[in-house]
Amino acid sequence: MNERQGLSVLEVARMPDGNAGPTSGRIRYSSAGNSFCLSTIFGGVFLMSFLFLCGAVSGQAQGSKPEKQIETPKPKQIVAPDVAFAESRRLSQQGKFEEAITQLDALAAKQPAPKGLSHELGVVYYKKGDYLNAAANLKKALAENPADNEALQLLGISSYLAGRPADAIAPLEKVQTWFPSANVDASYILGICYIQTKDYPGARKSFAKMFAVAPDSAASYLFTARMLLRQDFAPIAEEYAKKAIELDPKLPLAHMLLGEIYLYKSRIPEATEQFQKELELNPGDAAVYYKLADAYSRAQKYEDAEKLLQRSIWLDATSTGPYILMGKVLEKKGEPLLAARALQRALAMDPNNPIPHHLLGLAYRELGQMDDADRELKLSEQLQNRGETRP
């Protein structure tokens, strides 16, 4: 037995690696022929400790939930009133009235509401055509700023358009200037309100101012008579037209207006007399010939009516009225072919007018063109129904 194998000692030696080279510091344990290196033991222990540590860290990482991140709330964006007003005006110009109102209502929820908000809401409601809400907001705007002349004028116009002419008068009387946002002349609206409340002198003064004439002049009575007839106040219109002629017997269009009033009342002889007087004063007006021809046609004087209509067309070939009346007169005279030509000319200028379609259908029927007649009569009925359903 080798002597080294018989020892049971722990030897610390510097053992050579192989036959030559630097020594490696290793601890060797030898006992009865069994030997192993302590470096192996220490290395194994170190490896096990490292793996245990890694497993523990991994388990902790898997077992723990990630911490919830707390987000810092973003501050609400504050929109300046001027910016919001400008945006609402832009939306209103694009016809997006509901969006503009929603944006302004959001500002109204703030306390206190921005100055000028009621004005902006009133203008948007006015443009939208919601005149009751427009008037309500414009009243608030005037309470905030009595010098807001635009709000004052729009309040008057909104009241009128909402069917409250009496409420419209006071605001419109205070403001006599025109603002672009109104889209109408406040003087005209004021005059109509006076008519509807039967304040005829007030109406005359308002129209005189609108047309820049003296309130007591013949022209002011003439303008007021025309407006009265348009509003279906024929008796007062007749009175004012006569007053205009009394003040100035040679005033152009005064006799014609009085003739129209008589024609409106089916007083044919008086209407004819007034149109003839107008023709003497104003022989170059195509409309006078047309109106006198209308009076003659109602009196069944078709030959005289045809001559006058031809003169009216010579003076003004752009008006459809004389062509339509010519078609009617020629049809009464038993000349459907000529009537059809006149009515076709009228329809070329105004294809959506149901009256010439109807008359043309009757002319085609006289000519035996039944398909064409049915087409025109049906089209006339459709256009008539469309016009009745239109708001």
Dihedrals phi, psi of 64, to nearest 5 degrees: -90, 140
The whole-number pLDDT of residue 365 equals 96
> 118 in a domain, yes or no?
no
> 199 in a domain, yes or no?
no
Digit-coded pLDDT (tens) for 203-213: 999 999 889 99
Digit-coded pLDDT (tens) for 233-269: 999 999 999 999 999 999 999 999 999 999 999 999 9
Query: Any idea what the CATH number is for the domain that residue 345 is in?
Result: 1.25.40.10
What one-letter code names the amino acid at 234?
A: A
Q: Measured between alpha carbons, how far apart are the two ends of the chain, in Å?
A: 130
Q: Does residue 4 carry a pLDDT above 50?
A: no
Could you tell me the pTM of the whole model? 0.70
With 0-12 CB in 10 A as exposed, 13-18 as middle and 19+ as buried, what is 365? middle
Enclosing H/E stretch for 12: strand 10-16
- Check residues 13 and 251 and name the one with the higher pLDDT: 251
> 205 in a domain, yes or no?
no
Tell how far CA 149 is from the center of its chain: 23
Digit-coded pLDDT (tens) for 157-181: 999 999 999 999 999 888 766 665 5
Q: Does residue 132 carry a pLDDT above 60?
A: yes
> 227 in a domain, yes or no?
no
Q: Are 251 and 221 in contact (CB under 8 A)?
A: no
Domain residue limits at 360: 328-391
Q: How many domains does the chain have?
A: 1
> 352 in a domain, yes or no?
yes
Long-range (24+ apart) CB contacts under 8 A made by 303-309 are 303/333, 305/329, 306/330, 306/333
- Check residues 353 and 16 and name the one with the higher pLDDT: 353
> 25 in a domain, yes or no?
no
The whole-number pLDDT of residue 230 equals 95
